[in-house]
Chain A
């Protein structure tokens, strides 16, 4: 066992470091920042779901915000109407959304990529309006306000023991979100390495060959939709928990686009990709919002006319740059860079008959 740990490749150590970072993060940042990072993790879960659909099974969805809405409302209604414990409702919301996603995946089979993009986009457009309809159940335009949740004594005491301050509701929600994110990332990692995930990837790479190998194309495509929606549903449910209320406006079309952007920027068909994509998708609009007004070199006339558009423009420009210089997403860029570095190091070592080149400082 110890031997195995010692021999594990560096990326496993990286995973451990990242997990420890996220566990320790709220102890060094404020409560508000913890709530921001909880949003990042929620986005990461939704983006992982979308990544399973787009990156691994080769389908597209411009409407994953709608699945988040369904998950959020499922939880909110269960809490509000049936007085269920919020934490219990999260997996229920996930499963329910997963089933709806699965059903949506059946007609989606008949659509080619472009039409599927349109159909899912329509889903994103229509869902907020549909939600308003049964006002009895969903609270109509007002939405549903959720009771705040307090950290359980055990978690609170542990947090106080480490930081010396009381645990806020936001910090507790952060940890709930982190727990879900860890489990869901682990599940996704398992999925893509085993039979079902391999079948999805096979379909993405070549449907005819996959079918000839005995892979049920329709089955796995709908399955991917279902699992993907399950992730979005859980993310939506956590989103409601983190924000404290749900309303139709919480899930605009822009959210669906943001998810797709995060998926592509992080890196399609990659497990760490969604996390990086989520950090990008969450912070870039906020940062560019703050950055543009501080730039004095932008002529004031332009600045005043494009004041509103500025952040969006910055967002767009950065996005285009990433697509030009990192077409495989940030993770693709890192792996390519790492491979090049290793080749260079090995090449240098080879020339000196297996020894590292002499250090110019000492040699």
Chain B
């Protein structure tokens, strides 16, 4: 079953073509990696899927529903959650609070209930807290749940971001360089964590990554972008042998 359907997607910034009619699909239950040299348009593609940018042409369908025209904050309601390349956490908040914000769409209390908390609000808050703690424990950060995120090391912050994305129980999880800028041990731990996210939580994963061993070890399928175009697609093995991919990475012989 197709969960994410990217059709003929094009993005222009002025005269620069960032994405040129890119099409691919992600089936439910898959782990798909998006790779390509720097500036290939991977993060742009992520930003279009999550509606940070508006596409110039083409469309993005999630479960058959177009998301490319909805306001950015509605995207998560359609089961899409993401992390960011350079970690975009709420720096003044604790780990727990960050993750609770990720639960925003599954809670209801408005401003009046926030200002005058009724028993219902208090219950909802307690539930959100419990769900957030479950996810924090899941990513292995139970010990630092109450700490301010700004003081945590980069690798730990990445896991906080992951927990924040997970808590909304997305069907499709979009990870922008989950193994970027972290140590070898952390890369292995992240790979194991992703396996568990896939196997235990049953989430479909689309990830952008430069770390090739990580990508090849974890993905079912790889989509390769170069200069805003899709140049190859297939299993990790196929992609590695693809001459176009080798050329894009190493240059023409």
A: which residues have CB within 8 A of B? Answer: 187-188, 190-191, 194-199, 201-202, 204-206, 208-217, 223, 227, 269
- A215 touches which of B52, B104, B111 (Cβ 8 Å): B104
> B136 → chain A, closest Cβ, in Å?
15
Do B90 and A197 have beta carbons less than 8 Å apart?
no
Stretch of B69-77, B197-205, B239-247 that contacts chain A: B69-77
> A99 → chain B, closest Cβ, in Å?
14
Q: Which of B123-160 contact A (CB under 8 A)?
A: 124-125, 128
Given known contacts A206-B88, A215-B73, is B52 in contact with A199 (CB within 8 Å)? no
Asked if B50 is an interface residue, CB under 8 A from chain A, the answer is yes
Please indicate which of the listed interface residues A197, A201, A205, A227 has the most CB atoms of chain B within 10 Å of its own CB: A205
Do B168 and A214 have beta carbons less than 8 Å apart?
yes
Do B88 and A214 have beta carbons less than 8 Å apart?
no
Query: A214 to B73, alpha carbons, bound, how many Å?
Result: 4
Interface size on B, residues (CB 8 A): 40
Do B104 and A214 have beta carbons less than 8 Å apart?
yes
Do B82 and A190 have beta carbons less than 8 Å apart?
no
Given contacts A191-B114, A205-B92, 12 further A-B contacts (CB under 8 A): A187-B116, A191-B115, A198-B93, A206-B90, A211-B73, A212-B52, A212-B72, A213-B81, A213-B104, A214-B74, A214-B75, A216-B71
Do B88 and A198 have beta carbons less than 8 Å apart?
no
Contacts of B114 in A (CB 8 A): 190-191, 194-197
Contacts of B101 in A (CB 8 A): 198-199, 202, 210, 213, 215
Query: A206 to B72, alpha carbons, bound, how many Å?
Result: 14
- B109 touches which of A194, A202, A208, A214 (Cβ 8 Å): A194
Tell me the dominant secondary structure on chain A's binding face: helix
Given known contacts A190-B116, A201-B92, A206-B89, is B107 in contact with A195 (CB within 8 Å)? yes
Given known contacts A212-B50, A214-B104, is B109 in contact with A195 (CB within 8 Å)? yes
Nearest to B80 among chain A residues (CB) is A212
> B125 → chain A, closest Cβ, in Å?
6
10 nearest A-B pairs in the assembled complex, by CB-CB distance: A214-B105, A194-B114, A209-B88, A205-B90, A196-B114, A214-B76, A211-B72, A196-B111, A187-B115, A214-B104
Q: Could you show 21 A-B contacts with beta carbons less than 8 Å apart? A: A190-B116, A194-B114, A194-B117, A196-B113, A197-B114, A198-B93, A198-B100, A199-B101, A201-B90, A201-B92, A202-B101, A204-B92, A208-B52, A210-B73, A212-B72, A212-B81, A213-B164, A217-B73, A223-B111, A227-B115, A269-B92
Given known contacts A195-B107, A215-B104, is B90 in contact with A202 (CB within 8 Å)? yes
Do A198 and B97 have beta carbons less than 8 Å apart?
yes
> A102 → chain B, closest Cβ, in Å?
11
Please indicate which of the listed interface residues B101, B102, B109, B128 has the most CB atoms of chain A within 10 Å of its own CB: B101
Query: A212 to B81, alpha carbons, bound, how many Å?
Result: 7
Given known contacts A191-B111, A195-B104, A195-B109, is B73 in contact with A209 (CB within 8 Å)? no
